[in-house]
Amino acid sequence: KGGLSSPDEPALSVHTLDGRIMCWVEIGNPTPERLHKASKAAPRVVVVTQHDPALLVKDIASSKTKVHKADQIEVYALNGHFLDAIAKHIGDRGCALELTVTEGELYVTAGGETLQSTLTKVPLA
């Protein structure tokens, strides 16, 4: 609904026509409680983080909250320099972003520049 501005909703989500959440996407470093809620609400949960993913793994391992289906949650880490390069174009008026994912590589074209980063998948459990 509100994306990042609605704290109770996922940052991104995919819904069925009858309103069920099929994919819940979190951005950053969500709490174990939030991941538990997400994994109970949707069959697929994805976290995309710019932080060290080891921090997320450590938070979950040391939490009193047992995260439902933690072994099925997909965590992808993005390189901070890659995000900084994209951020230079975000404020450009009329800047269109093109996104392509191929075999674990992420390509973003912004302002005529193509940027590339490896999507590093990190297991939670």
Asked if 52 contacts 78 with a C-beta cutoff of 8 angstroms, the reply is no
Residue type, 55: L
Q: What was the pLDDT predicted at 75?
A: 94
Pseudo-torsion of CA 94, 23, 80, 8, nearest 10°?
90
**How sure is the predictor about 23, in pLDDT bands with cuts at 50, 70 and 90?**
very high
Give the pLDDT score at 95. 77
Q: What is the mean pLDDT of residues 25-38?
A: 94
- The residue that leads in pLDDT, 125 or 111, is 111
Calpha distance 22→11 (Å, rounded): 14
Give the pLDDT score at 35.
Answer: 95
